[in-house]
Amino acid sequence: MLNISGIKDGIVLDHIAAGKSLDIYYHLGLDKLDCEVAIIKNAKSSKMGRKDIIKIAGNLDNLDLDVLGYIDHNITVNIIADGVIAEKKSLKLPKKIVNVIHCKNPRCITSIEQELPHVFKLADEATKTYRCLYCEEKYGK
Amino acid sequence: MRHLLNPLDFSVEEITRLLDLAGDIEHNLPKYAHVCDGKKLATLFYEPSTRTRLSFEAAMLNLGGSVLGFASADSSSAAKGESVADTIRIISCYADICAMRHPKEGAPLVASQFSSIPVINAGDGGHQHPTQTLTDLLTIRNLKGRLDNLTVGLCGDLKFGRTVHSLIEALVRYTGIRFVLISPQELKVPGYIRTDVLDKNHVEYKEVDNLDEAMPELDILYMTRVQKERFFNEEDYIRLKDSYILDRQKMKLAKEDMYVLHPLPRVNEISVEVDKDPRAAYFRQAQYGVYARMALIMTLLEVEKPC
């Protein structure tokens, strides 16, 4: 078993579905930050069998974690300060998500203009329905 | 600065003001002949639509303004691969307002994000056609004197017809509206119109497949074309095609003050013999479309109503 040390200040994303940590790494834009990041894949979990964990060290005030609510609301977000859990953040469905999912409607303007961001807006929280900002087509997984 | 991208961009109060202005324009056309002197409308039509484009151009010319633009993507810089964003940035330097038709859904929204002039969606794919909806609302209000307490029949292709979806969305905001949705099984309104629009707003509606039976209860009949290629098999098409053709016999079943609307072009779904019936309102509807667009141009350009 691997030993990864705890972090003093930062964020720990726990209970990520096994194998999904790299997707989250990119969706959060962590590849563009210069902070220390530890990605633990397939860690043993009594609740999930296997899980992934991401530990991010440093001051991350500008990190937009809302997207995690869309990707997997079971992820636990622990804010670490001075080596202890200072806050457990609950995840909500984001009102808007950008470049996480892509519109599949062949009639949508995004199908021919590649540089446009793929923006989806939360249309119905109860049914977790997202619609493309441009063509309003419902996103189907 | 306002744009019109979706029929619901305007509140019911704003629609009322716009339709009031259109009504005044209809009765006092010369009064408006110079309100847009020196203003230019750009018509950016990435796909051909003679009727809508000419209606916009007539509207601007009636207001004393002038028009420029293109009538197909082939004759625009889109043929060279220019993006909508770049095109609208350039057009913003040339004109005061623009009307855009585009085969791709959401293109006018993209334009509005980069534009420094008001953008009017003149139809984007199968998505929205808000000026048709304004035209439909103006026509209904002028003919019936109201937009509430009406039984509105929508007939034909209710699945793919964007004008039908937009009209339903616009009318559910008024009280006492009831819909009779007349279509073959294959062309019923999409599920989201039933759940997100009709059910959500507690609007009474029924879905039927027989136009004859529906006729007596209607205040408005909104016809659309049933296209052969929409059917899954020819047998169904042959079985159903005549039942959605409006003729003199069917008109006999309707109320004396029922009116027939159609977004046009009409192919064969309304028999030409119906044209002479005083209740056939589809050509008047095209005329109202010019007044609705005049009122819209004035509203978006924030032109004062003349005394």
Separation of alpha carbons A130 and A137, rounded Å: 8
The answer to whether B162 is a known catalytic residue is no
- Clarify whether residues A60 and A126 are in a common domain: no
Residues B105, B246 within the same domain: no
**Per-residue pLDDT tens over the stretch B20-73:** 999 999 999 999 999 999 999 999 999 888 899 999 999 999 999 999 998 887
Are B99 and B202 within one domain?
no
φ/ψ bin of B191: left (φ > 0), alpha (ψ from -120 to 50), beta (otherwise): alpha
pLDDT tens, N- to C-terminus, chain B (307 residues): 999 999 999 999 999 999 999 999 999 999 999 999 999 999 999 988 889 999 999 999 999 999 999 888 777 777 778 899 999 999 999 999 999 999 999 999 999 999 999 999 999 988 899 999 999 999 999 999 999 999 999 999 898 788 899 999 999 999 999 999 999 888 899 888 898 899 999 999 999 989 999 999 999 999 998 766 666 678 877 777 777 899 999 999 999 999 999 999 888 899 999 999 999 999 999 999 999 999 999 999 999 989 8
| pLDDT value, residue B257 | 97
Q: Do B14 and B108 belong together in one domain?
A: yes
Contact A107 B83 (CB under 8 A): no
Q: Which domain holds residue A37?
A: 10-89
Q: Could you give the angle at the alpha carbon of B226 between the alpha carbons of B209 and A103, nearest 5°?
A: 105
B45 and B184 co-located in one domain: no
Smallest CA–CA distance, residue A74 to chain B, in Å, is 28
Chain centroid offset of residue A102 CA? 16
Looking at residue A27, its pLDDT comes to 86
Indicate the helix (H) or strand (E) that contains A10. strand A10-17
Q: Smallest Cβ distance to B127: which of A111, A112, A136?
A: A136
Q: pLDDT value at position A124?
A: 87
Write out chain A residues lying below 8 Å of B199, CB-based.
Answer: none
B75, amino acid identity: S
Q: What is the CATH number of the domain that holds B278?
A: 3.40.50.1370
Q: Based on the domain organization, do B49 and B156 belong to the same domain?
A: no
Give the model confidence (pLDDT) of B106-118 as tens digits: 999 999 999 999 9
What total of structural domains would you count in chain A? 2
Cβ-count burial of B277 within 10 angstroms (0-12 exposed, 13-18 middle, 19+ buried)? middle
Segments forming the whole domain that contains residue B251: 131-285
Amino acid (1-letter code) at residue A78: N
Model-level pTM?
Answer: 0.87
Q: ipTM of the assembly?
A: 0.87
Q: Give yes or no: residues B142 and B268 share one domain.
A: yes
Q: Is residue A124 part of a domain?
A: yes
Say if residue A108 is in the same domain as residue A49. Answer: no
> Does the active-site annotation cover B2?
no
Task: Note the pLDDT tens digit of each residue in A93-108.
Answer: 899 999 989 999 999 9
